[in-house]
Structure 1
Amino acid sequence: MKLIKLSAISAAILASTAALAAQPVIVVDSADAVVYEAEPVAVAYQAEPAYAYNADAGMVRNTTGAVVGGTKTFFQTAVNPAAVSAEVGTLGYGANVAWAMNDKTELQAGWAGGDVADLFGGDFDANGVNYDVDSDFSNPYLGVQLRPAANWFTMGAGIIVPDNDIDVTANADGGISGFYEVDDVKYDANGVSLEGTLEHRNKLAPYATIGFRPNISKNWGVFGEIGAAYMGKTDATITSLNPDQALLAEDSNGTPIVGLTGKDLAASAEQELEEENYLEWLPIVKLGATYRF
């Protein structure tokens, strides 16, 4: 009888373990039927999501853990960015998408472009010659935004892939009847016009910025950045509409120079533009608004 009872108890334990549930188990011996209530053997724990929102920093925490957590989590992270932003500045009008790796580091991918010259006056000076600018910018970029103190102060760095069209037209000092002063030579501008294009040599342009990104609500924030991108040496192409026209010219001492033409003037202007070191740098100034998910 004891053997039968022990066998029945063993069978009941095995059954309850396989089911992993607290179902009533009936054990029968020769005298009584006894009901035993099994304890649950599985305990569920609620884990904190890897992409929990940090209201203080306005960013997503611990996304790094989510990225390495598995393919499904990586996909969810990639298609659910931390923020989207709209911007306007020296790179143009644009937008970017950001993914936060933690409360201090954010990856960005964006684009800015358009006619930037209209935003900032549309002209510049190069060694005394003023040039009107007409531009069509396209500046996709990848970068990292850092919050060193996990607050509103930011530092950024990354790479721009510039594809910018820059057209320039020289303005004579004093108008059509004035003069161009190029390479210490004063050329009579009567009937002569200079125009051309500028192109930067860098196909990848590194940039760096500092800025601020305060939050104005749980989801909305604003930002501003200043910095610069190194665009590389400038290739200028300047032409004269009257290349063979003989020009009145004089040196810095007022001594007449004979034999100079519109083509000579264009070549000198082209060389001066290419020697301007500041044209190798594109200043970055931008303002924008951010929506955080």
Structure 2
Amino acid sequence: MKFIKLTAISAAVLASTAALAADPVIVVDDNDAVVYEAEPVAYQAAQPSYAYNSDAGIVRNTTGAVVGTTKTIFNTLTHPASVSAEAGTLGYGANVGFSVNEKTELQAGWAGGDAADLFGGDFDANDVNYDIDTDFSNPYLGVQVRPMANWFTMGAGIIVPDNEITATANAKDSGNNGYYPVDGARYFVGTPDADQIDVARGDITEVGGVQADLEHRNKLAPYLTVGFRPNITNNFGLFGELGAAYLGKTTATVNANGANGAAAEEQIKKELEDENYLEWMPIVKLGATYRF
């Protein structure tokens, strides 16, 4: 009888294979038949290793993509988490972002162009006013952190500055009586009246126009910022940042093109370098972000 029971049960089991997960399974153990209820199997679609976080504004769980295999790293670098456009004191530019985790994003970007008007367009060095023309080039690498996983951000990184800054001196008064006050003396643009010259004070005539090229000595400039990055939609967001970059002291190359201009150049050079124009460059930027 056991054999007959087993044969019948086996046939029933084979006939109901398609419904095996839902139907009870009968197992004969010696003289007893025991019924086991089979639990249905739930099948779920595989979830991606990342998901958009609308609060933090970046993708989750991509650490493996950054520190994983060479192939995965390549895929990550060719599929950034975001692209942004920006305008500010570093110039006009853009950056791409790569997510490390839900709170941290790496950035690589560039900003440049003529940003002189953002700094007022001029500055004073020892009572001499200089108009400024700039041609900025500021590639940078940085990290943006959302310490509280909300809109507030903190940034840090390195700028590789290649900024051209030209300063043109504005003489006081006008015509032949125009002059630059330098170290207590007056360096006249042309030839003033004889009674205006004070030899004891060190006045010099026929200095001509004065122009200087300024270069910051730091080849790598560290920066720090704080900011906000609210999300408008799942893909679009805005941002603003405030901070500073340390560009270092300046080196000035001065050209005074009058007949006695060479006599003024060294002293003007010293005064410009003592001013250290934009030694600490303020960072103010606004922009928009598209997230993939």
TM category, shorter: 0.7 to 0.9
Q: Deviations over 1:16-50 (max 9, x none)?
A: xxxxxxxxxxx9x9x9993625568x986544322
Q: Which runs of 5+ in 2 are unaligned?
A: 22-40, 191-205
Q: What TM-score, normalized by structure 1, do the two folds share?
A: 0.76
Q: Which amino acid aligns with 1:205?
A: A
Matches within 5 A, 1:237-248: 237-242=253-258, 244-245=259-260
1:118 to 1:33, Cα distance in 2 relative to 1, 3 A: closer
**CA apart distance, 1:71:** 4.3
- Is residue 90–residue 112 contact of structure 2 (8 Å, CA) maintained in 1? yes
Distance in 2 of aligned mates of 1:230 and 1:267: 26
Determine whether 1:170 maps to 2:169. Answer: yes
The runs of at least 4 aligned residues of structure 1 exceeding 6 Å deviation read: none
Distance in 2 of aligned mates of 1:184 and 1:44: 87
Alignment-derived partner of residue 128 in structure 1 = 127
Q: CA RMSD in A?
A: 2.7
Paired residue secondary structure (2:101): coil
Determine whether 1:222 maps to 2:238. Answer: yes
- Is residue 51–residue 66 contact of structure 1 (8 Å, CA) maintained in 2? no
Alignment-derived partner of residue 194 in structure 1 = 210
- Is residue 55–residue 151 contact of structure 2 (8 Å, CA) maintained in 1? no
1:204 to 220, 245, 251: 220
Paired residue secondary structure (2:172): coil
Alignment-derived partner of residue 110 in structure 2 = 111
Alignment-derived partner of residue 180 in structure 1 = 180
- Identify the range of structure 1 (75-84 vs 117-126) with the bigger mean alpha-carbon deviation: 117-126
Q: What TM-score, normalized by structure 2, do the two folds share?
A: 0.77
1:33 to 1:108, Cα distance in 2 relative to 1, 3 A: closer
Matches within 5 A, 1:56-95: 56-95=55-94
Paired residue secondary structure (2:133): strand
1:197 to 1:277, Cα distance in 2 relative to 1, 3 A: closer
Paired residue secondary structure (2:148): coil
Aligned residues: 250
Q: Deviations over 1:84-129 (max 9, x none)?
A: 1101111111000001212211100000111112444321112211
**CA apart distance, 1:188:** 2.5
- Identify the range of structure 1 (93-102 vs 45-54) with the bigger mean alpha-carbon deviation: 45-54
